[in-house]
Amino acid sequence: MRAILTAISLIAGLSLTPPGQAQDADAPPRAEVMVLGTFHFSGGGQDMINPEVDDFLAPARQAEIAEVLDRLEAFAPTRIAVELMPVHEADFNARYDEYRAGTRDLGVNERQQLGMRLAARLGHDRLYAVDAEGGMDFEAMMAAASTAGQSALLAEWQSYIGEVQAYLDDMDSLDRSILDRIISENSEETRELHNLYLILAQMGGADDPAGAREMTRWWGRNLHIFANIARIAEPGERVLVIYGAGHKALLDAYLQGAPNITWVEPLDYLVTDADAATE
């Protein structure tokens, strides 16, 4: 591998910078990217586990959303990306234009309540759609595990998913503020829930490795989303990505590994010194 990289460097006249070495002072600044994991304000409906929803257009909830935006505004993003297929980006931005013009009210989903509201505050002329295709066939995975006689693995899955459900029920309690819920969505404890996909990956036998196949689709979908984000993360940009928290573990891993992007921790902005002092 070292010989290949050296040959490429010599042929192309490139200078390879070892990992961890300071960036050339003359090079353009790397893009900074923050992935804000969030729950779906409208309930989702297509996720493995969907939260209970409230009236997020009610005055008290609108004030809570404003507090979240106050904290995100400190990041000063220059571009905002949302969980939306690129084919819908033009229509989404047309709605955003109507909202800025005062001719359209915002809907309840987080793309509008967080994305559009913050973009309007910052004077952005558009938002970016970075989602990618790719679902999961849970029935196929469960059937493959049953056929392969993986009763112990299925029992382990049922136990694990029960613990996850209890954790999410507590985290998504309507007694909690939106800021508190979003802080939890971006915590290490929530990130570790992504490990449940590695139980699914084990389902099936050599003839029908359904779990590995479906998890390849999941990892691949998130890699595609990462690539969509990277395309708008041009040098010097500060990109805020508003996405369902189930994607955050993989998107963070890809961004942290990308040598031309600087990953940003959202908790550095969501949690203030005053919050820490009251804990």
Mean pLDDT of the chain: 89
- Whether 229 and 23 have beta carbons less than 8 Å apart is answered as no
* The two three-digit tokens of residue 215, written as one number: 């998890």
Q: Can you give the pTM of this predicted structure?
A: 0.87
Model confidence band, residue 10 (pLDDT cutoffs 50, 70, 90) = very low
The reported pLDDT for the residue numbered 32 is: 98
Collapse the DSSP code of 137 into the 3-class scheme (helix H, G, I; strand E, B; otherwise coil) and give the result.
coil
The reported pLDDT for the residue numbered 55 is: 87
Return the DSSP state at 207: S
Q: Which residue has the higher pLDDT, 96 or 3?
A: 96
- Whether 277 and 78 have beta carbons less than 8 Å apart is answered as no
* The two three-digit tokens of residue 58, written as one number: 């009610």
Consecutive H or E run containing 273? helix 273-278
d(CA 222, CA 100): 31
- Whether 114 and 67 have beta carbons less than 8 Å apart is answered as no
Lowest mean pLDDT among 50-59, 69-78, 168-177, 264-273: 50-59
Q: Identify the CA nearest to 84 among candidates 43, 129, 142, 51.
A: 129
Contacts of 211 (CB under 8 A, 6+ apart): 141, 144, 145, 200, 201, 202, 203, 204
Contacts of 239 (CB under 8 A, 6+ apart): 31, 32, 33, 34, 77, 78, 79, 80, 81, 229, 232, 233
Tens of pLDDT, residues 124-149: 999 999 999 988 999 999 999 999 99
Consecutive H or E run containing 122? helix 117-122
Tens of pLDDT, residues 209-259: 999 999 999 999 999 999 999 999 999 999 999 999 999 999 999 999 999
Vertex 66: Cα angle to 173 and 248 (nearest 5): 60
Q: Strand locations in 11-55, DSSP E?
A: 31-38
Return the DSSP state at 243: E
d(CA 217, CA 278): 43
